[in-house]
Amino acid sequence: MAGQQRVYRQRIRSVQATKKITRAMELIAASRVVKARQRVTESTPYALALTRACSAVATHTNEVHPLTTERENPRRAAVLIITSDRGLAGSYSVSAVKKSAELIEKLTGEGKEVLPYLVGRKAVSYYRFRRREFVQEWTGFTDAPPFEVAREIGEVLTDQFVKGSDDGGVDEVHIVYTRFVNMVTQEPQVVRLLPLEVVSADELGEDEQHHVPDGPLPLYDFEPSTSEVLDALLPRYVTARIYNALLQSAASELAARQRAMKSATDNAEDLIKTYTRLANQARQAEITQEISEIVGGASALADAS
């Protein structure tokens, strides 16, 4: 009985140590997710302005631009997969990878060769463990993505698209990321980035809807020329969309981690209560056995006398 009690006490100490870690991670994620949501909100006006400008260009001109031109018989597609650098975030990374697998299966079924571009160590580990090839990786920043990384990713993907499959590039560019809806809900999303699909304000997320102005859209004048405006505007639009996807994914990652760590902390508390009850039962059994032995010894002495 004493041995069982020691085992339960050791398990209680182990679970208590784990609980301290999960509680600390929960608090850290809770503090960081506030900043992450703020960054998503702050980036929205710029993304909305670029969206409306691109819509105006697409609506009021017939200008042909490499980033807006559909390719005949597209043969190669790039897929940017955004996951996390660290685990302990529930099913966040798994859901994004699963969504990307569905997209890759669809593109492959259409006869297209898929070239994965990975963000986050979880996606890299997934591909390396299964010995699958990918083109390029970006890691070490997923919970607080800098704009410079979004610009770099945008330049790489844009260059590959401009080259086209005939010159070793791609004919389509897709993004798989996790849209932050609220602290409870985060949804994996697929966006075809190139050829350019102008994204409406409704697709930027529920938190950003209050940024959308009412009334008619403004009129635009394109100077010095429509082609030069497109050359300057569309790469910025691509970068802004990638940056918004990174920020949405960062907020989703932290919200998922906070929820997962809270669940782990609650489970640890329940486990400590269970082990405490079992340890008390073992202690009571040990005391009962000791009393029985004392009474039995006293009876034996009395009978002997």
Q: What integer pLDDT is reported at residue 209 of this predicted model?
A: 45
Q: What integer pLDDT is reported at residue 217 of this predicted model?
A: 55
Mean pLDDT of 9-24: 92
Confidence of residue 149 (pLDDT cuts 50, 70, 90): very high
Q: What integer pLDDT is reported at residue 201 of this predicted model?
A: 46
Q: Which residue has the tokens 């970068």?
A: 239
Residue 190 φ/ψ, nearest 5 degrees:
-120, 130
Confidence of residue 233 (pLDDT cuts 50, 70, 90): confident
Of the listed ranges 110-114, 216-220, 242-246, the least confidently predicted one is: 216-220
Burial 66-86 (b: 16+ CB within 10 A, else e): bbbeebeebebbbbbbbbbbe
Mean pLDDT of 8-12: 89
Would you say 196 and 63 are in contact if contact means Cβ atoms under 8 Å apart? Answer: no
Confidence of residue 130 (pLDDT cuts 50, 70, 90): very high
Within 10 angstroms of residue 219's Cβ, the number of other Cβ atoms is: 7
pLDDT at 215 over 80: no
Of 204 and 179, the structure prediction assigns the larger pLDDT to 179
The reported pTM is 0.82
What span, in angstroms and rounded, lies between the C-alpha atoms of 66 and 140? 32
Helical residues (DSSP H) of the chain, grouped into ranges:
2-60, 92-109, 121-129, 147-163, 226-304
Mean pLDDT of 180-194: 90
Most confident of the following: 17-21, 43-47, 217-221: 17-21
Q: What integer pLDDT is reported at residue 198 of this predicted model?
A: 52
Of 154 and 206, the structure prediction assigns the larger pLDDT to 154
Cis peptide before 224 (omega within 30 of 0): yes
Calculate the alpha carbon distances from 137 to 30, 82, 85, 171, 217 in Å: 28, 10, 11, 20, 39
What span, in angstroms and rounded, lies between the C-alpha atoms of 207 and 43? 12
Of 98 and 233, the structure prediction assigns the larger pLDDT to 98
Confidence of residue 120 (pLDDT cuts 50, 70, 90): very high
Q: Which amino acid is at 271?
A: L
Collapsing DSSP to helix, strand or coil, 55 comes out as: helix
pLDDT at 162 over 70: yes
Burial class (CB in 10 A: 0-12, 13-18, 19+), 128: middle
Of the listed ranges 10-19, 43-52, 185-194, the least confidently predicted one is: 43-52
What span, in angstroms and rounded, lies between the C-alpha atoms of 32 and 264? 19
What span, in angstroms and rounded, lies between the C-alpha atoms of 212 and 47? 11
pLDDT tens track for 60-82: 666 677 777 788 889 999 999 99
Calculate the alpha carbon distances from 125 to 21, 104, 137, 201, 252 in Å: 24, 18, 11, 34, 20
pLDDT above 70 coverage of the chain, percent: 87
Residue 11's contacts (CB-CB under 8 Å, 6 or more residues apart) are: 275
DSSP 189: E
